[in-house]
Structure 1
Amino acid sequence: MLKVNQYFDGKVASIGLQTSTLPATVGVMLPGEYEFGTSQNEVMTVVSGAIDTLLPGATEWQSFAQGQSFAIAAEQKFQVRITTDTAYFCTYE
């Protein structure tokens, strides 16, 4: 069964699913700045658009474009800046 979530006044939306190996979400983010927290290890892949992120413990923002991925450990917070409509795919361990 799919689980649909919306955050930040509808500017971020995700649909949860179970892949053949891991739980995952596919979603979209509209332009803005957001802070997320993790409860599990996550790997986020940019499907379309771009994500600028300030990863836990980092002092400089990193940019990830279509096809690129980044990982965030469980129980962490991270910030993202979105400048164009962006789609992502995220897996959880």
Structure 2
Amino acid sequence: MITENQYFDGNVKSLGYESTEGKSTVGVINPGAYTFGTAQKEIMHVIEGELTALLPGSLDWQHIKAGSNFEVPANSSFKVKTTVQTAYLCQYR
């Protein structure tokens, strides 16, 4: 089953699916700044574009380019901002 997700007035959209390893989403983030909450550990892969992330427990924003990833623990929140449309794969583990 493929699910459709839409957040922040349509500025973040994704398609969700489940593999043998768990749930994942593939999506696009429009330029802007957003705060996401997590229920599970998330592994976020930037596929195309780039973003800046403020991760839990950090005071410094990290620049994440295409081909890079970062992890966010369960039951936390993180902030991202981008100036270009950015494609991502998020794995929920």
Give the corresponding residue for 2:58: 58
The equivalences for 1:1-93 within 5 A come to: 1-93=1-93
Distance 2:18 2:28 in 1: 18
Q: What is the deviation of 1:24?
A: 0.3
Report the Cα distance in structure 1 between the residues aligned to 2:75 and 2:28, rounded to whole angstroms.
22
Size of the aligned set, in residue pairs, is 93
| Cα-Cα RMSD | 0.7
CA distance in 2, matches of 1:50, 1:78: 16
Unaligned runs of 5+ in 1: none
Partner Cα distance (2:19, 2:49) in 1: 23
Task: Give distance in 2, aligned partners of 1:21 and 1:75.
Answer: 20
Q: State the shift of 1:54 in Å.
A: 0.3
The unaligned stretches of length 5 or more in structure 2 are: none
Question: TM-score, length-normalised on structure 2?
Answer: 0.97
Give 4+ residue runs of structure 1 displaced > 4 Å after superposition. Answer: none
Distance in 2, matches of 1:23 and 1:10, equals: 21
What do residues 9-60 of structure 1 show as CA deviations (whole Å, max 9, x unaligned)?
1000011101232210000000000000000001000000011000001101
Q: Secondary structure at the match of 1:40?
A: coil
- TM-score, normalised to structure 1, is 0.97
